Amino acid sequence: MEDNNIKEDGNRKNNFIKNIITEDIENGKNNGKVITRFPPEPNGFLHIGHAKSICLNFGIAEEFKGKCNLRFDDTNPAKEDQKYIDSIISDVKWLGFDWGEKIYYASDYFDKLYEFAVELIKQGKAYVCSLTGEQMREYRGTLTEPGKESPDRSRPIDENLDLFERMKNGEFEDGTYVLRAKIDMASPNINMRDPVIYRIKKMSHPRTSDKWCIYPMYDFTHGISDALEGVTHSLCTLEFQDHRPLYDWFLDEITSPCHPQQIEFARMNLNYTVMSKRKLQKLVENNYVNGWDDPRLPTIAGIRRRGYTPEAIRNFCNIIGVSKKESRIDVGLLENCLRDDLNDNAPRAMAVLRPLRVTIENWEQDRLEELEAQNHPQKPEMGTRKIIFSKNLYIEQDDFMENAPKKFFRLAPGREVRLRYGYFITCKEVLKDKDGNIIELICTYDPATRGGDAPDGRKVKGTLHWVSSEGSIPATVNLYDRLFMAEDPEAESEDFTKNINPESLVRLEGCRVEKFLQDAEPEKAYQFERIGYFCADSQESSKEHLVFSRTVTLKDTWAKVNQIK
C-alpha cells in the first residue's frame, strides 16, 4: 500500500480523498457541505468490491458530518428488477449505514433529463442520429485515428427537436434513432466522440411503467443526477476516469444547479476470486454455485449467509484504504479481519464433524452428569452453559490413531487424554467392523479429574473436544473453502471456471453438535472449538434438520502470500 497515500490518524486512515475534502472545507467550497452518494445499478447483487465504495461514501459523509444518498441508477429497464433493489437496500443496511428517509432513483429525474436533452439540442450541441450501432462503431475511429462525423451531425435544430419528440412519443422502433451529444469526433478521448445520450427502448420501466419509450444513457444521467441532488463529491472507481471530461462537459453545457467534483479511486481486486458481474452470472447460471447467495461467492448476500460480520468487512475496508493505484489484495487479509472479530465475539460450542463413538466402560449406564462450560474463555460476562457427560460419547475420528507416532498427543491405545471441561480418559480397546474399520473405542475415565485436572498433578498433552450422545443432536455441516485454486483465476486459464476448487464445498452428514445449537440464530457465527467458525445456514437449516456452514477456519490453511501485490 502506498505510504504517501495513507497514514494513520488515530483509529482512522487519511487518504487523498479526505485530503481533497478537507481542503475544500477549509476554502469554503460548497459552503462547507459534504454530500456523497452510492449509486448502484439495480441489475445484480452487490459484492465485496461494492462494500468498499459503500464504506467510503457513507464513511466520508459521516466523518465530515454530511450526507450520503442511496440512489439507484435505473436507466435500463431491460436488466433491472425489484429483487435487486430489495437486495441492495438490505445489504447497505446490514453493513450498518443509513441514508435517511429518502431513497433516490435516476428515474425520478426522467422529466428533467429530457428537458436538459432538449436544451442541448436547442444549443446545437445534440443531434438525432440514424446510424446503426455497427456503423457508429465504424465511425468512432480508434485510439490512434480520429472518428468520422455522422451524416446527421449537421441536421437542423428544428428537425432534431421534432425527431426527438417523436422518439419520445413512440413513433419509431428500437434502434431507428439515437440522440447524440455533439462534441468532438477527433478527440483523443473516445468517450468524447459524440456519445449517445438517449436510445429508443420500448419497454415498461419498474417505476415509470409505460410513460417512457426512450431512456437516457448512464454517462448523461449520472452527473446530472448528482447535480440535482446537490452532491459535492462524486466518488467513482478508476474506470470512470476517462469519462470525467464527459461528466464535466454535460454539467458545463446545461443549466445545472451545481457542478459536483468527480474523484476516482482504485477498485478492490481480491485474489482467489472473481468480481466481474458477467463472470459471477456465469457461475450462477451454469450451476457452478447454488445461487447468488452461495457462501462461496463474494456477493454480500453470500458472505453474509456464510457468517461474515459487517464489523469485519468495515474493518477490512478501513485497513486496505483508498488509493489511485490498482492492486490485488490477499483474501487472507479479509479472512483475518473476520477471525479477529469472531475470536472476540463468537460464542463457543463443541461439535464433532466426523464422529467416532466412545464408550466409557466404568461409567454407569444411565448416569448423566452436567458439566459447566464457558461461552467464551476471555469473556466471563458471556456466561456459561451446561454440557452433559454420559457413558456414550463422540470424538473426532482424526483425534484417534491406533498406531500413533510418539508426537501424536491425542488418543491412542493405552494413552490418556483430557476431554474439554470433562475427565481424563484412557483407551482400553478398539472395536472394528468386518472390513477392519474402527467403529468404537472402549475407554475408562478417572473420576478424580472432573473439570479436566488431576489432583495428583499428572499432566496429559492432549485435550479433545467431544459431545455425548444425550447432550448432542445430529447436524449436516457444509465445509466451505475458497472457490478458486488460482490466485488470479482469470489470468491463469482462458476459461476461469477451470480453476474452480473441487473441494470448495464438502458436505458432511451425521455430524453431532451441542443441543443448544438447535436454537442457533441463522448467520450468527459460533466457534466450534478446535475446528473453526460456523453458523446456521439461513436457507437450509431448521430445527428439524440443522445445517451449519463453515464461516472461516481457525487459522489460514492456504500458502502465505503478500497481503497486497
| Active site (catalytic) residues | 41, 267, 277
89 three-class SS:
helix
The single residue listed with the C-alpha cell 508426537 is 407
On whether the CB atoms of residues 307 and 533 are closer than 8 A, the answer is yes
Query: Which of 513, 536, 527 shows the shortest CA–CA distance to 555?
Result: 527
Query: Which of 168, 42, 78, 39 shows the shortest CA–CA distance to 115?
Result: 168
Which residues, other chains included, contact 421 with Cβ-Cβ below 8 Å and sequence gap of 6+? 371, 372, 373, 387, 451, 452
On whether the CB atoms of residues 103 and 73 are closer than 8 A, the answer is no
On whether the CB atoms of residues 97 and 40 are closer than 8 A, the answer is no
The number of beta carbons lying within 10 Å of the beta carbon of residue 117 is: 22
DSSP label of 273: -
Joined together, the cell numbers standing for residue 457 give: 498433578
Query: Which of 226, 196, 215 shows the shortest CA–CA distance to 120?
Result: 196
144: amino acid identity, one letter: T
Dihedral angle at the C-alpha atoms of 75, 80, 86, 88, nearest 10 degrees?
-70
3-state DSSP of 498-522: HHECCCCEEEEEEEEEEHHHHHCCC
Beta strand 351-352 with 505-514: parallel, antiparallel or unpaired?
A: antiparallel
On whether the CB atoms of residues 1 and 318 are closer than 8 A, the answer is no
Beta strand 384-389 with 369-374: parallel, antiparallel or unpaired?
A: antiparallel
The single residue listed with the C-alpha cell 475496508 is 317
